[in-house]
């Protein structure tokens, strides 16, 4: 597998994981409700580290996209 193919696969895997996270969040929100405090500061269950994990994956997806086309974020 070429480097570009590996990057594209990593990007697709991350996107799929992010979509699954969104689905789980929506289900959780419908069942339990989510306050701002829950979203921003929860250390319990699904919401523990949710924002940071999602942000890290989103940033990696952007970095991969730039790497694939040979550009930079700056």
- pLDDT tens digits along 15-71: 999 999 999 999 999 999 999 888 888 888 889 999 999 999 999 999 999 999 999
Ordered by start, the domain boundaries in the chain are: 3-69
Q: What pTM does this model have?
A: 0.87
> Beta-carbon neighbour count of residue 67 at 10 Å?
15
| Element housing 3 (H / E) | helix 3-32
For residues 13-49, b (16+ Cβ closer than 10 Å) or e, as one string? ebeeebeeeeeebeebeeeeebeeebeeebeeebbee
- pLDDT tens digits along 32-45: 999 988 888 888 88
Distance CA 6, CA 67 (A): 11
């Amino acid at each position: 597998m070429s480097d570009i193919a590996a990057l594209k696969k990593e990007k697709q895997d991350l996107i799929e994981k992010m979509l699954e996270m969104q689905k789980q969040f929506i289900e959780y929100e419908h069942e339990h409700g989510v306050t701002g405090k829950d979203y921003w500061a929860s250390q319990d269950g699904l919401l523990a580290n949710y924002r940071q994990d999602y942000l890290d994956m989103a940033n990696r997806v952007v970095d991969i996209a730039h790497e694939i086309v040979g550009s930079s974020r700056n």
